[in-house]
Structure formats: structure tokens, C-alpha cells
């Protein structure tokens, strides 16, 4: 059964720092991995989608990498800003019988002004 883990559960860093959020998954046979942002009381906003054949995707100050063999993905945020404060979730579509989308529990990020 596919499991997705995000560590740490919460993170506080000063404004301006570069930071890395981690996502690990137990079954390396995946179709894609997606990173989301969730603000308090809101829905999820898609940030980056990495197909299984890709190694990384970039959007502005965000860069997501994928290493299927080790079952890991990282989300790199450059020059963090207070507006980046949110919960970040990763999700995978796995090659199993159900082909469900499995979410991690998220990392709650707080950028200190």
C-alpha cells in the first residue's frame, strides 16, 4: 500500500532564507507527484506537477525534484517571503490496482518577518 510521508510536520524560518520541504513515498512505481499549497480555511492550490519521467519542475521561486528510485521528492523555495506561509502537501498517483491519489499530511510552513 502506498504511503506518503512529509517531514517535518511544521517549520519556521526567517524571511529571505531558502528552504526545502521533503516528501517520501513507499512505492516507487508512480505516475506523477504533485505539490499543493493550502492556506488556512481554504482549498488546495496546485503548485507543481512532476510526471514520472521527469526529474524536476520549476515555477518562479519554486523548484520541485523527483527521485523515484529513492522514493523522494523535494520542494525548494528560494528567498522565502511571509506570503509563503501556508501548509504544503504532496500527493502521488501510484501504479496499484486502485490508482488512487495518495496525499501526505503536509508541512505547515511559517515565514518569520
CB 58 to another protein: min, Å: 15
User: Binding string to another protein for residues 32 to 51, with x set by CB under 8 A, is what?
Assistant: x-x-x----xxxxxx--x-x
Contacts (CB under 8 A) with another protein, residues 74-93: 89, 91, 93
Task: Please identify which residue in 18, 31, 55, 61 interacts with another protein, judged by CB under 8 A.
Answer: 31
Which regions of the chain does DSSP assign to beta strands (E)?
A: 4-5, 10-14, 19-25, 30-38, 44-51, 56-59, 62-67, 72-77, 86-94, 101-103, 107-112
Among the candidate windows 13-21, 31-39, 62-70, 72-80, which touches another protein by CB under 8 A? Answer: 31-39
Q: How far is CA 105 from CA 38, 52, 112, in A?
A: 11, 21, 22
Amino acid at each position: 500500500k502506498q504511503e506518503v510521508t512529509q517531514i517535518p510536520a511544521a517549520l519556521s524560518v526567517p524571511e529571505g532564507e531558502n528552504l526545502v520541504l521533503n516528501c517520501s513515498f513507499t512505492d516507487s512505481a508512480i505516475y506523477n507527484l504533485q505539490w499543493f499549497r493550502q492556506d488556512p480555511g481554504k482549498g488546495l492550490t496546485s503548485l507543481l506537477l512532476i510526471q514520472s519521467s521527469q526529474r524536476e519542475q520549476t515555477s518562479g521561486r519554486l523548484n520541485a525534484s523527483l527521485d523515484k528510485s529513492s522514493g523522494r521528492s523535494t520542494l525548494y523555495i528560494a528567498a522565502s517571503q511571509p506570503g509563503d506561509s501556508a501548509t504544503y502537501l504532496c500527493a502521488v498517483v501510484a501504479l496499484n490496482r486502485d490508482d488512487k491519489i495518495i496525499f501526505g499530511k503536509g508541512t505547515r510552513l511559517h515565514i518569520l518577518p
